[in-house]
Chains A and B, each alone.
Chain A
Amino acid sequence: MTDTAKPLNPDEAFRPPRNQWWDVWDQFKTHRGALAGLAVFVSIILFVVVGPLIWQVDPGQLNIRLRNQGPSRDFPLGTDQLGRDLLARLMYGGRISVAVGLVAMFLGLVIGTLIGVLAGYFKRLDSPLMRLTDLFLALPLLPLLLILVTLFRDSLARTFGESIGVFLLICFAIAITSWMQTARIVRGDVLALKEREYVLAARSIGTPSLRINTRHVLPNVLSPIMVSATLGIASAIITESALSFLGLGFPPDFPTWGRILYEGRDWIEQYPARVVWPGVLISLTVLSVNYIGDGLRDALDPRIRGR
């Protein structure tokens, strides 16, 4: 161990304390794919959030005389078979698709983290909760999602109104079919963390279990949670688009990317652009999120950091 005997550089020794997230960011910056992914993802978010404020066209505005137009100054990407502006539809559709991705990811993360922490921290809950997780992993998820959406769409639409009801249903359905991986990862980490001395110290001064978990355990399992969050966004967006593509997602007047792709399919021979644009947007979003996830995984792994 000759490395440790190296005399310390005085500047380095008196370096001011630094938030660990700056180290993570430094490592993240070296991953070129992740940086590109972040740039693309931010532009897509800007496109769907700020875009409609600049391009103020109603995506539901029918104009049967101007149907199937090619790109022009009034319609940069042309119009569809009912004369609706494709650019505006892509922006509003993106809002719904990205919102579903974020909300479903968040819900799935909350469920997964809760179950993971409970199973990892309390020995008595471990076995039943993990059996439950195994059971969910053995469920045929896509068929179940399809069934859930068909069964509860009408009743929820009646209670909360058409748009909110379907939105909530799809987010919940995606969340309860996607929390299992997070739960497993979190449980594994909590199992290891709760044996650490600082947790023992906290317990010995009488800290309640809830406080130990929120203050000492959860911050330390944040990195795997963040990685599975990014992957969760990607898979939630794909699942929502797949549901819409099968005609079992949002109703026709809500243009999500999957829905626009589904409707454009019938016109693929005459107007391929109608399929290509939403498809490219879905793929770019998922690709960028996956690259961010890759970069985060490397950046949050202290064994790699600083090399």
Chain B
Amino acid sequence: MLSYTLRRLAFAIPTVLVISLIVFLMLDMAPGDPTGSLPLTIPLEVREQIRQSLGLGDPVMVRYFKWLYMMCFVEPLHILAGLTGWDIAPEGPRILSWQTRSPVGDILVQRVPQTLWVVGLGYLFGILIALPIGVISAYRQYSWFDQAGTFVSMIGFSVPTFFTGVVFILIFSVWLGWFPSMYDTTHVVRDWNSFVFQAKQIAMPVAVLALFNASQISRFMRASMLDNLNQDYVRTARAKGLGEKTVVLVHVLRNSMIPVVTVIAIGIPTVFTGAIITEQIFRVNGLGDALIRAIYVSDWPMVQTITFIFAILIVLFNLIADVLYGILDPRIRYD
């Protein structure tokens, strides 16, 4: 198991490095300059000095390694120091956002909680809805429940989130007036009433994401259950007199969960990137919103950082999925 994990890890680290290089080089070629927004009265020599002080005079590879060092070492330590109060923050320059002139790490710390709440709850509810639906659909294949379930999941899978979100706003916010259409990030939960308000404002973005995720996961769950229900071991279990509940919920469900668990793990980072759109619809100022705003104003350091974080998430969760698959299904390890 250890050697399997190490082999996977040995592939993951170069992947992250290559992706970071691609992202860095792509944005390095981009037009746009941090001194572009300064007043035109600044003489050219001073402008050049500002560029030098921001580290833009070095060759590309030097800047890449400096950026990588700051990205992987300086910023995480600063974030950790900010969260725990320990005195571990290293000296030296940090990655500065061109639009706000503050370190990107500080901005991310403000943005991540909103994204985690909305995306995390959306994914969690999606899984909780999807698993029972998938199990029942497969167990009663071609029943009305299965027909309805597959139809709804096909719709949830085909209708893009930016349309479901808008329809939700139209129905629940404009017509019925139940939920606010915009997410108020400054809201603090202090007592019961403020908690109810928080629940109300988070309900619609979470529902949109949950619907989309549930429709994808329930399709997988159903297919995986169907694969297992006809296996010989199920007949054996029934033949030795086990109850139907034990057969389905213990024998079949456990084996069917193996691919589903890995699909769930692989899906987590795509949910983050997909939530960019949901965040735009409901004006949640999370990570995706920060990315879109940074792209609008050509704030490349911010874009590089967020894209790199997404890349790390994808590689990390792919690794987790591989290792999980290896733990759950020992046959995989001996490839």
Provided the pairs A143-B273, A143-B310, A151-B30 are in contact, do residues A265 and B159 lie with their beta carbons within 8 angstroms? Answer: no
From A138, A141, A142, A261, give the contact of B166 (CB < 8 A).
Answer: A261
Contact A147 B295 (CB under 8 A): yes
Which chain A positions have C-beta within 8 A of B162? 241-242, 245, 258, 261
Most B C-beta atoms less than 10 A away, residue of A247, A283, A290, A294? A283
Give the complex CA separation of A286 and B296 in angstroms.
29
Residues of B within 8 A of A60 (CB): none
**Chain B residues closer than 8 Å to A66, beta-carbon distance:** none
- Mark interface residues in B280-318 (1 if CB within 8 Å of A CB, else 0): 100000000001100110100001001100110111001
Q: Is the CB of B315 within 8 A of A138?
A: yes
Interface-located stretch among B98-106, B167-175, B250-258: B167-175
* Assembled-state Cα–Cα distance A293/B167 (Å): 26
User: A276 near B170 (CB under 8 angstroms)?
Assistant: yes
- Residues on A with beta carbons closer than 8 Å to the beta carbon of B163: 261, 279, 282-283
Q: Which residue of B lies closest to A291 (CB)?
A: B154
Q: Which of A115-123, A213-221, A267-275, A299-307 interfaces with chain B?
A: A267-275
Chain A CB count within 10 A is highest, among B162, B298, B310, B314, for B162
Instruction: State in angstroms the CA–CA spacing of A228 and B318 once bound together.
Output: 23
Nearest Cβ on chain A to B310's Cβ, whole angstroms? 4
Q: In the complex the two chains form, is B159's CB within 8 Å of A287's CB? A: yes
Asked whether any CB of chain B lies closer than 8 Å to the CB of A163, the reply is no
A146 close to B (CB within 8 Å): yes
Contact A242 B311, CB 8 Å, known A147-B27, A290-B158: no
Given that A135-B19, A146-B292, A246-B280 are known contacts, is A272 also in contact with B174, CB under 8 Å in the complex?
yes
Cβ of B307 and Cβ of A245 under 8 Å apart? Answer: no
Q: Is the interface of B mostly helix, strand, loop or mixed?
A: helix
Beta-carbon nearest neighbor of A132 in chain B: B18
Q: Least Cβ distance of A268 to chain B in Å?
A: 6
Chain A contact patch, size range: 35 or more
**Residue A58 at the chain B interface, CB threshold 8 Å:** no
B291 CB to closest chain A CB, in angstroms? Answer: 6
Residues of B within 8 A of A139 (CB): 19, 22, 311, 314
Q: Mark A150-183, 1 if CB is under 8 A from B, else 0.
A: 1100100000000000000000000000000000
Closest A residue to B316 by CB, please name it.
Answer: A138
Asked, given contacts A138-B19, A140-B310, whether A242 binds B159 with beta carbons under 8 Å apart, the answer is: no
Number of chain B interface residues as a range: 35 or more
Q: B295 CB to closest chain A CB, in angstroms? A: 5
Q: Give the chain B neighbours of A26 by CB distance below 8 A.
A: none
Closest Cβ neighbor of B313 among chain A residues: A140
List B residues 117-150 near A (Cβ within 8 Å): none
Contacts of A247 in B (CB 8 A): 296
Given the interface pairs A245-B277, A246-B292, the reply to whether A135 lies near B26 with Cβ below 8 Å is: no
Is B38's CB within 8 Å of the partner chain A? Answer: no
Nearest CB in chain B to that of A140: its residue: B310
Cβ-neighbour of B158 out of A154, A265, A272, A286 (below 8 A) = A286
A200 interface residue, CB < 8 Å from B?
no
B155 at the interface (CB under 8 A from A): yes
Taken residue by residue from 314 to 331, chain B's Cβ proximity to chain A (1 for < 8 Å, 0 otherwise) reads as 110010000000000000
A248 interface residue (CB < 8 Å to B): yes
Given contacts A142-B273, A241-B162, A272-B174, contact A290 B154 (CB under 8 A): yes
| Residues of A52-93 contacting chain B, CB below 8 A | none
Q: A151 touches which one: B26, B157, B170 (CB < 8 A)?
A: B26
Please indicate the chain A residues that have their CB under 8 angstroms from the CB of B169 in the complex: 268
Sort A-B residue pairs by CB-CB distance and give the 6 closest, nearest first.
Answer: A140-B310, A279-B163, A287-B158, A283-B159, A286-B158, A143-B307
Sample of 27 A–B contacts (CB below 8 Å): A134-B11, A134-B15, A138-B311, A138-B318, A140-B269, A140-B307, A140-B310, A144-B23, A146-B292, A146-B295, A147-B26, A150-B298, A246-B280, A261-B166, A265-B166, A268-B166, A268-B170, A268-B174, A275-B170, A276-B170, A279-B159, A282-B160, A286-B158, A286-B160, A287-B155, A290-B154, A291-B154
Q: A143-B303, A261-B162 are in contact. List 11 more A-B contacts (CB 8 A).
A: A140-B313, A147-B26, A151-B27, A242-B160, A242-B162, A246-B280, A261-B163, A269-B174, A272-B174, A279-B163, A283-B163
B residues at A contact (CB < 8 Å): 11, 15, 18-19, 22-23, 26-27, 29-31, 154-155, 157-160, 162-163, 166-167, 169-170, 174, 269, 273-274, 276-277, 280, 291-292, 295-296, 298, 303, 306-307, 310-311, 313-315, 318
